[in-house]
């Protein structure tokens, strides 16, 4: 019987559940602050379901774009959620909706001309 040297791998598994994704971003920030060491991989495996898969994709994309470095991965994920959470009013035939800035980059906007898109935006008024 041949025994191979075991290699320990660390995995980050993120679950689905809509708003849970923002919570995961906060938890990831704490993990990053406590575990990240320059030049070392933070996690060997990153996976998720639903919104967790989106968070995982943001993290892995950041790592790949930065030469397999986890440096500032926390900021990449938090930036996504900050952008998604900032209020942008959208009103139209189906009522009024609030999207983050990301709502401005939706398929709806891309499918409409710039003039048509403007009719869906309710200007904010100052008091």
Cα 35 to the center of its chain, rounded Å? 20
* Residue 42: CB atoms within 10 Å: 20
Q: What is the pLDDT of residue 109?
A: 52
Task: Tell me the per-residue pLDDT of 37-90, one tens digit each, with 9 for 90 and over.
Answer: 998 999 999 999 999 999 999 999 999 999 999 999 999 999 998 888 766 555
Confidence of residue 8 (pLDDT cuts 50, 70, 90): confident
In angstroms, the Cα distances linking 121 to 39, 109, 111, 113 are 45, 11, 15, 13
CA 92/CA 47 separation, integer angstroms: 37
Q: pLDDT tens, 88-127?
A: 555 554 445 555 555 555 545 555 555 555 555 554 455 4
Report the predicted TM-score, pTM, of the whole model to 2 decimal places.
0.66
55 within 8 A of 77, measured Cβ to Cβ: yes
Q: What is the pLDDT of residue 54?
A: 93
Q: Rg of the chain over CA atoms, in angstroms?
A: 20
């Amino acid at each position: 019987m041949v025994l191979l040297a075991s290699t320990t791998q660390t995995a980050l598994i993120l679950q689905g559940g809509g708003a849970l994704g923002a919570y995961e971003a906060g938890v990831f920030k704490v993990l990053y602050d406590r575990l990240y060491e320059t030049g070392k991989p933070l996690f060997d495996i990153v996976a998720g379901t639903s919104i967790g898969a989106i968070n995982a994709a943001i993290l892995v994309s950041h790592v790949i774009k930065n030469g397999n470095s986890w440096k500032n991965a926390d900021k990449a994920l938090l930036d996504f959620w900050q952008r998604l959470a900032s209020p942008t009013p959208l009103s139209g035939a189906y009522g009024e909706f609030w999207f983050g800035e990301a709502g401005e980059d939706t398929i709806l906007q891309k499918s409409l001309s710039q003039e048509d898109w403007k009719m869906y935006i309710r200007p904010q008024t100052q008091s």
